[in-house]
Amino acid sequence: MDYSNLKVPNHVALIVDGNGRWATERGLSRSKGHEQGFVNVKKLSRYIFSKGINYLSAYLFSTENFKRSKAEVDFLMNLLTGRMKDILDFCREDKIKVVFSGRREGLSDKVMKTILEIEDETKDYDKVFNLCFNYGGHAEIVDATKKIVNDVESGKLNIDDLNEDNYSHYLYQDLPPVDLLIRTSGEMRLSNFLLWQVSYAEFYFPKTYFPDFDEKEFDKAIIEYTKRDRRFGGINYEDKSN
C-alpha cells in the first residue's frame, strides 16, 4: 500500500501476543505458535521498515514470562538463538541496527553470545530494531534509577541537572518516544511494556493473533493512526469539546 498520503510514525512498538492461542485453536502445540510468531516477526518487521518507519520495538519475552513452564521458557530461549540468524540476515541487507532491551542477568551464555554478536555486527546502521527480551517496564525504570544514583554518588551527575530528557539516557536504549503501540490478539493492556516511552503514544488493539497479523493488518493500523489527532496534552482548536 502507498503510504504517501498517510502519517508515518517514527517509532512503532509491537506487543507480540496471541501465538499460543493461535496454535491452540488450530489443534497445534503452543511451541508451533511461537515458531510461527518468529517467522512473522521477520516478515512483518521488514515490511514495517520498508515503509519509512525508523524505529521498531518488539516485545518478545517479558520478565514475567519466566513464570511459565520450564519447558516453554527453554523452548523460547532456544527459538530466539535459532531465529536470530534470520533476523540478522535481513537487518544486514537492509542496514538496520539491532539492539536488545531487557535484563541480561539470568540469560544463558548461548543467548548472551547471540545478542552481543548481533549488536556488534549491526552497530553502524541508522534504523533501529529494538528487541525486548527478558524485559519489564518497571525493571527498566528501577535499573535506570540505580544508574542515576551511581552517577550522582560518583560525581558524574548533579542531581539538579536530572530532567525528563536526560533520564531517558539511562534506560536500556535511548530511543525516541513511541508514536504508535500495537498489541495483537485483542488484549487491551500494556503488560509492563515501555512504560516511560509510551506516555503520548497512540494505542491500537486489533483482535488478530500475531501469526496472522500481516502487512494488510499493519496497513490498517497506519490508516487508523493517520486519523488520530495527537495533541500531547494541548487543544485542537477546531474541536474544543475535550
Query: Which segments are annotated as binding site for substrate?
Result: 18-22, 30, 34, 62-64, 66, 68, 183, 189-191
Q: Residue ranges for the binding site?
A: 17-22, 30, 34, 62-64, 66, 68, 183, 189-191, 202
DSSP string, 142-182: HHHHHHHHHHHHHTSS-GGG--HHHHGGGSSS--PPPSEEE
17, 40, 130, 179: the active-site residue: 17
DSSP string, 84-136: HHHHHHHHHHHTEEEEEES--TT--HHHHHHHHHHHHHTTT-SEEEEEEEEE-
Which residues share a beta bridge with 32?
none
> Whole-angstrom Cα distance, residue 96 to residue 185?
27
Q: Residue ranges for the binding site for Mg(2+)?
A: 17, 202
Question: What would the grid cell of residue 187 be?
Answer: 488484549
54, 65, 78, 192: the active-site residue: 65
Residue 17 bears catalytic tag:
yes
* Catalytic annotation, residues: 17, 65
